[in-house]
A and B are shown apart, each in its own frame.
Chain A
Amino acid sequence: MCGCCVVLVLFCLGLLSAGNQKPQLGDAQLATNNPTLTTVSLEKPFCMFDSSLYPNRSYTIYLYVMKESASAMSSLVTDDSNKPLGSTFQQTSRGQLRPYNAAFFDVPDCAVPPRLADVRSFVHASYVLKQYLFRVGDDGTCLYDPNFLGVCNPPLAPDTTYRFKYVLVDNSEGMVKDQTLWSDPIKTRRAKLPMKIDTCVLVFLLLTGFLASVFFAIILKIIIKSIGFSDTK
């Protein structure tokens, strides 16, 4: 049911151009753990760029990530000749100064969107999830190599607000043909410290100590009385 709704919404959105659309978080009913501490799973741009696609030409979608902070110098993703900026994670100080290119992938097929109901099937689940969502922050391996200068999609920072943008690039010309708006600010989760967890508990020791002492007092009294009773005999 939910899968059908998403497909319908995607189809309706396809009738609009990408210029007034934004990347969205994955369906919260499907992906309940989103965003996490260091990752954000976005819906792939189904039918967002359809009005800009020409037949017999190949395109690639670039995903740009930027921290939403006052120190961002620029939020442009293209240079003067309308080519996409190749700024990487390391070059942009983890998205602090400018947007960085986190990934590129093929244009999702608008005509055959993934059937979300198929996620229930163990066999098709991986395929459907890969078709439908893109996980920003999924790959930390490029961080281990300080000389790595390529496109990197490393984990995001916790408790930080990010914005995302999809850009359509024509492969033969290498030029940007269309782009979405910047997404709404999406914040990664914040983790609390375990030492702040309150394990305080109601202590009944005072009450039970009182009850125990009363009880023993009664017992002692009875013993004393019975000893005194037998002595008088």
Chain B
Amino acid sequence: MAKTENGVRIFQGLLILGNVVIGMCGIALTAECIYFVSDPHGLYPLLEATENDDIYAAAWIGIFVGFALLALSILGIVGVIKSNRTLLLVYIILMLITFAFEMASCITAATHRDFLTPNLFLKQMLEKYQKPEAGNNNDKWMSEGVTKTWDKLMLQNQCCGVNGPSDWQEYTSAFRTTYSDADFPWPHNCCVLDSQGHPINLDGCKLGVHGFFKSNGCYAAISGPMNRQAWGVAWFGFAILCWTFFVLLGTMFYWSRIEY
């Protein structure tokens, strides 16, 4: 009998340990998702304009799932210590629901990451950057967001266009309807600027002389943070789910063995 007692104690200890880890992971998930939702790189307007900002939805779900995991892990620890069937049943059901939500969040983040191709941002930039007043308020809001974000991107990352400044020459754009090619082969933010924000040499920039214009594309500066966000939410989420899966299994087995 002592052996069985010891076995039960060990199993309880393992479940408690499992729940402690789930609780800590829940806090970490919440913190990570709050960081992503705060949009430190200012790229949210670009996603908003694609009308597919699901990686942000995934991060929002992650925040609430993290809190839920923390609360449920405490419930689980109490339930295991007291060996209470009701508590553990509530724990199992709620944990399954949380599991489903987190699964949805991870899959959303992982699949919608693939949606964010260079062509998507190229088309958006060409159609919305510096778009003159047109359409409804929603359209105007998105165009302004895209314009501000691109201006900031080009200034901070010393880059131009998605693949390079040649994007502005290869395609027509909303920008081109307002600004002539002779004066603006590409936006002036693509020129190397001095401390006052003026191009250091406008002729050199227009002709494409190296040193007076920015020849890198901005795609790396856009996709880097977005990939980190998507992979961070998706893969950390999957890791938590794997661990939670085993703890849930153990808890179900424990619940089934508790005598009335």
A residues adjacent to B (C-beta < 8 A): 26, 30-34, 36-39, 41, 119-120, 122, 125-126, 129-130, 133, 135, 137-140, 155, 158, 189, 191-195, 197-199, 201-205, 208, 212, 215-216, 219, 222-223, 226-227, 229-230, 233
Kindly identify which residue among B171, B203, B252 contacts A193, using a CB–CB cutoff of 8 Å. B171
Docked-complex contact A215 and B103, CB < 8 angstroms: yes
B182 touches A138 (CB 8 A): yes
Q: A30-B209, A36-B169, A202-B114 are in contact. Are A194 and B120 (CB under 8 A)?
A: no
Give chain B's interface residues, CB within 8 Å of chain A. 92, 96, 99-100, 103, 107, 110-111, 114-115, 117, 119-120, 122-123, 126-127, 165, 169-173, 176, 180-183, 185, 200-201, 203-204, 206-213, 245, 249, 252-253, 255-257, 259
Chain A residues within 8 Å of B120, by CB: 199, 201
Contacts of A197 in B (CB 8 A): 119, 122-123, 126, 171
A215–B213 CA distance with the chains assembled, in angstroms: 53
Of the residues A34, A38, A125, A227, contact of B181 by C-beta under 8 Å: A38
A110 to B217, CA, bound (A): 40
Min C-beta distance of A138 to chain B, whole Å: 6
Question: In the complex, A47 Cα to B114 Cα: how many Å?
Answer: 57
Question: Known contacts A31-B209, A32-B208: does B203 contact A222 (CB below 8 Å)?
Answer: no
Residues of A within 8 A of B259 (CB): 233
Docked pose: A219 CA to B194 CA in angstroms: 62
- Chain A residues contacting B204 (CB-CB under 8 Å) are 119, 125-126, 129
Given the complex of chains A and B, what is the CA–CA distance between A181 and B204 in angstroms?
29
Whether the pair B107, A201 counts as a contact (CB closer than 8 A) is no
- Bound together, the chains give a CA A215 to CA B208 distance in angstroms of 55
Smallest CB–CB gap between B33 and chain A, Å? 20
| B171 near A191: Cβ-Cβ < 8 Å | yes
Shortest distance from the beta carbon of B216 to any chain A beta carbon, whole Å: 14
Give min CB distance, A121 to chain B, whole Å.
10
Query: Is there contact, CB below 8 Å, between B207 and A223?
Result: no
Q: Which residue of B lies closest to A154 (CB)?
A: B182
Contact call A212/B107, Cβ cutoff below 8 A: yes
> Are B173 and A189 touching (Cβ within 8 A)?
no
